[in-house]
Structure 1
Amino acid sequence: MCHSTDSRPPAPPNPGEVAEHGRLELTAADGNRFAAHHAVPATPNGRSVVILPDIRGLHPYYEDLTQRFAEAGFHAVALDYFGRTAGIGARDDSFDWQAHIGQVTPDQVRTDVAAAVDWLREHGAGAVFTVGFCFGGSQSWRLSASDLDLAGVIGFYGKPELVDDVVDDFGKPLLLLIAGADVATPQAEFRQLADRLSAAGKDFAMHVYDGAPHSFFDRSFGDWRDACADAWRRILDFTGHHA
């Protein structure tokens, strides 16, 4: 399960200032109106991220995470999955995500991400990447096979079974950040995915954090500071290389 016990996400190395941040309402091509949160860096690095949350949608943790990415120089937008079924509302710990997550489809995620990418483009965003967590990690990886104008896709502890049907169509660089003690997915499944990507000649990098639990970056980063610092470094290196 993905539950955040820390009040803020782990800080990036050498954090800078955030110029502005706040809530947005975006409209997708199918007419879906959904909530998002954005943050603008005071010192841009020429890169942007669309953040795909875990099963809770636009939980306050992910609003804070946009600011962490802005501190690292990224223009960041985090989106909510539940506009179609729950409207625009708070996604705090009282929100019943279980009643809605099963109704979210990959096509809907792609359509909403497209709206977030368009918004970033309108605001001079530069190279755009997706970064996802848990459910959002799988959805981020899937977007490697999409027609969206993305420079790369990043996912923390997604599920390989949720991308099996699109692996052969992957066309954008991938970064897979894996919890070595993930109880949600056997490590053998990640190894099989890596073998399949390698055999197909896909552009990817995968790193396994030995002993780290599922959701180490957003649930218990206080206990996994070294892993989180390394994950930040890999994100910065990956996005810098592919921007």
Structure 2
Amino acid sequence: MDQRIINLFDEYTHKPLKRDEFLRRLAVLTGGMATALSMLPKLELNYSNADTTSEYQDKIITERVTYPGKDCTMKGYLARPNSKGKFGTVVVIHENRGLNPHIEDVTRRAALAGFLALAPDALAPQGGTPSNEEEARGLFGKIDNAQNLQNFILAFDYLKSRPESNGKAGCIGFCWGGAMANQLAVHVPDLKAAVPFYGRQPDAADVPKIKAFVQLHYGEMDERVNAGIPAYEAALKAAGIKYELFIYKGAQHAFHNDTAPTRYNEEAAKLAWGRAMELFRKTLS
């Protein structure tokens, strides 16, 4: 697909670009509105591809949970191995569409890998993630950033209170959630590992606060996010932070999201996921 179309869709999903303006510009790129409309299914998320774990349901236990947030009650989706013992804990952080079927599936994948995994819903203070993506997108603009950060920090307190937790915690986030994973690395001193996928980088001045091992995953074609890599890596090196940085050749923003037809990159996604789980096994056991 024309890279200009993918870049336009990225702009639409991450900036205040209204749908009618997005469609108008898409029509210009594709040669007409009819072609633009026919292309939407190739660009927008398809949740029919969201369930990759159903055949393993006997190996994990899932539940809807709540926990105390900052002046609110937080909602989340929790998955854990269906076995006795204590497990390393992982906070899974969704993209800027909220806690949707894809992220629930990713949470189950983390449980299958042997972790107690929780995906908080950042939109819980607004009543929770709606099924309509456009509505969810609008709600993200209403998030109180300070409250939101505290709500995710408090997720670790909740996980530590679970009898299945071994007390060691990491986080993994995607896009909007990748940026949050970076912020949690800055603001949670006892975090063992942070794994941001194509997420906005923290301010260089905050990097010395990081105590976690940071594993960074980027798509080669993701120019918008990748612009912040040099300053982040320089700050990590200067502060002596343990980190790994991977850039996947030919991969787009959201390359791990298998419900994003034109951006999903199976090879890069599987390699990155394997690297993330291996890091968690080393740091959270």
Q: What TM-score, normalized by structure 1, do the two folds share?
A: 0.85
Choose which of 112, 117, 123 in structure 2 pairs with 1:82: 123
Shift of 1:188: 4.2
Aligned to 2:197: 156
RMSD over aligned CA atoms reads 2.6
Instruction: Tell me what 1:92 maps to.
Output: 131
**Percentage of matched positions with identical amino acids:** 23
The offset of 1:119, in angstroms, is: 2.3
Bigger proportion of residues as strand: 1
Query: 2 CA distance for matches of 1:80 and 1:109?
Result: 10
Counterpart of 1:197? 236
Following superposition, the deviation at residue 99 of structure 1 comes to 2.5
CA distance in structure 2 between the aligned counterparts of 1:103 and 1:165, rounded to whole angstroms:
27
d(CA) in 2 for partners of 1:222, 1:57: 19
Measured at CA, do residues 226 and 94 of structure 1 come closer, stay the same or move farther in structure 2, by a change above 3 Å? closer
The answer on 1:184 being equivalent to 2:224 is yes
The residue matched to 2:185 in structure 1 has which SS?
A: helix
Query: Secondary structure at 2:256's aligned position in 1?
Result: coil
In structure 1, stretches of 5+ residues that fail to align are none
8 Å Cα contact 2:198/2:218 also seen in 1: yes
Matches within 5 A, 1:41-60: 41-43=81-83, 46-60=87-101
Choose from 169, 174, 179 the match for 1:128. Answer: 169
**Larger Rg: 1 or 2?**
2
Cα distance in 2 between the residues matched to 1:207 and 1:16: 31
Aligned positions, number: 235
Corresponding position of 1:235: 276
Which residue of structure 1 aligns with residue 181 of structure 2?
Answer: 140
State the Cα distance separating 1:222 from its structure 2 match: 8.9
Name segments (4+ residues, structure 1) moved above 6 Å.
none
Paired residues of 1:138 and 1:163 also in contact (CA < 8 A): no
Identify unmatched segments of 5+ residues in structure 2.
1-9, 14-43
Say whether the 8 Å CA contact 1:33–1:87 is kept in structure 2.
no
Separation (CA, whole Å) in 2 of partners of 1:4 and 1:128 = 30
Q: CA deviation at 1:223?
A: 5.0
Residue of structure 2 equivalent to 1:209: 248
1:36 equivalent to 2:76? Answer yes
Matched, 1:175 2:215: yes
Q: Contact 2:181–2:196 (CA<8 Å) still a contact in 1?
A: yes
* Greater length-normalized contact order (CA 8 Å, ≥ 6 residues apart): 1
Whether the 8 Å CA contact 2:89–2:159 is kept in 1: the answer is yes
Find the aligned partners of 1:179 and 1:199 in 2 and give their Cα distance.
Answer: 24
CA contact (8 A) 2:189 2:211 kept: no
What is the alpha-carbon distance in structure 2 between the residues aligned to residue 128 and residue 80 of structure 1? Answer: 18
TM-score normalised to structure 2 length: 0.73
